[in-house]
Structure 1
Amino acid sequence: MGTISACIFDLDGVVVDTAKYHYIAWKSIANELGFDFTEEDNERLKGVSRMTSLDILLSIGGVELDQETKLKLADKKNKNYLEYILRMTPDEILPGVKEFMNELKSNGVKIALGSASKNAMTILNQLELTNYFDVVVDGTHVSNAKPDPEVFLKGAELLNVLPSECVVFEDAEAGIEAAINGKMKCVGIGSPDVLGKANIVVPGFVGFSISQLNF
């Protein structure tokens, strides 16, 4: 396995599928403003900050709003989203994730979370996964969004390991680019068409083993 000391996981789409809740929350904002917002539209919001997501949403609907109104809408979207995630249960952890993390732990590999989500701790608590992570770096700790590598570099620093000893697990192109920019290895979770820049791409964690981290 070479010199891999730590694995850093993105949250949404890697550990758990919260994208559906983001989608429902954004869709209700769009409908309130008088236009529709499709799942295809939602793909454009993957890995993007809340305010940028709102700007994309408004451009789809051809709606222009002042900053104060935008802040209120972004806050409303987040409250909608929080209502959904506060009902989440551990059975929403994506298949194979826990088994893979247990394997990492038994092999002495450190585990960090590197997510843009400001609700990461809430989600981990709901999933009863908090104890799996040695370090959690989320949107409350960083100022630069992916593809900036800040969130991953901070994780490596807190784990006290070199970036070159880390493997990042990501489902978004911006996240893969962030890992590359941070000089880290990366595994894409999803489609090779989108995540082709990753060292390897797998559909998910079912059957995935530490032995596949031979880069």
Structure 2
Amino acid sequence: MSQVKAILFDLDGVLTDTSEYHYRAWKQLADEEKIPFTREENDIHLRGVGRRESLMYIIRDHQYSEDQIQDMMKRKNDYYNELIKTMTPNEVVPGGRELLQEIRQAGIKSAVASASKNCHIVLERLQIVDLFDGIADGTCIVNSKPAPDIFIFAAGLVQTPAVDCMGIEDADAGIDAIKTAGMYALGIGPKERFHRADRVIPDMKNVHLKDLLAN
């Protein structure tokens, strides 16, 4: 993987951890609707999954009209946006800012490939927008992960063929998206979480470029 020309990062769970904010927003919605929803369910079933798919999991057999579903997605997003107002640049994973600078200095392109439609807001709060050559978020595509669309779009932003890209993800659905796009897939987290990753490392704390490119 030493010839990689672009590195495409998922955001949540890779460069920062917004999973707690997402969980708290979904939990507030579920409580209001009197639907049981646990932290464990959030970690297992909602990781790397888009907003509508997440809501469909939570409501399951409960019957709602499309207008009600749209309202619930908006409410959850409002709760999430209120929660992330407290985010600071200190919530970038330790060493993450230095890693992005190292990638740039090596002449390798970098982009965000996040299903979140709030991606720009989070990047601004973290103050790392200017460290990327491209930002692809949930507003750029129709089909969410595990469809490859977000990674293909991100590769296009940095004008790099898929075969020359590495995608980095903490969710199995994201790894599926990377592999389907024809890219090298690096999983972040426990090995048992992933089925198609080319390589897995436990976390992104104080990771250097040489660690990403290791065989």
TM-score, length basis structure 1: 0.94
Consecutive unaligned residues of structure 1, counting only runs of 5 or more, are: none
Judge which range, 112-121 or 85-94, deviates more.
85-94
Give the equivalent residue in structure 2 for 1:33: 33
Counterpart contact for 1:95–1:204, Cα < 8 Å: no
For residue 58 of structure 2, what is the amino acid of its counterpart?
A: L
Give the equivalent residue in structure 2 for 1:45: 46
Counterpart contact for 2:50–2:145, Cα < 8 Å: no
1:64-121 alpha-carbon deviations (Å, 9 max, x no partner): 2111111111101100000011221011111222222121111111110001100000
Consecutive unaligned residues of structure 2, counting only runs of 5 or more, are: none
Counterpart contact for 1:2–1:214, Cα < 8 Å: yes
C-alpha distance in structure 1 between counterparts of 2:16 and 2:206, whole Å: 17
How many pairs are equivalent? 213
SS across alignment from 1:86: helix
Counterpart contact for 1:96–1:208, Cα < 8 Å: yes
Counterpart contact for 1:90–1:127, Cα < 8 Å: yes
Give the equivalent residue in structure 2 for 1:106: 105
* Residue 146 (structure 1) shift: 0.9
SS across alignment from 2:111: strand
Q: Superposition RMSD on alpha carbons, in Å?
A: 1.3
Give the equivalent residue in structure 1 for 2:192: 193
SS across alignment from 2:86: coil
C-alpha distance in structure 2 between counterparts of 1:194 and 1:181, whole Å: 18
Give the equivalent residue in structure 2 for 1:164: 163
Judge which range, 188-197 or 8-17, deviates more.
188-197
TM-score, length basis structure 2: 0.94
% identical equivalent positions: 37
Give the equivalent residue in structure 2 for 1:118: 117
* Residue 207 (structure 1) shift: 4.0
Judge which range, 200-209 or 174-183, deviates more.
200-209
How do 1:1-215 and structure 2 match up within 5 A?
A: 2-43=2-43, 44-59=45-60, 62-212=61-211, 213-215=213-215
C-alpha distance in structure 2 between counterparts of 1:25 and 1:210, whole Å: 34
1:105-143 alpha-carbon deviations (Å, 9 max, x no partner): 111111100011000001100110100111001001111
Deviation >4 Å, runs of 4+: none
SS across alignment from 2:166: strand
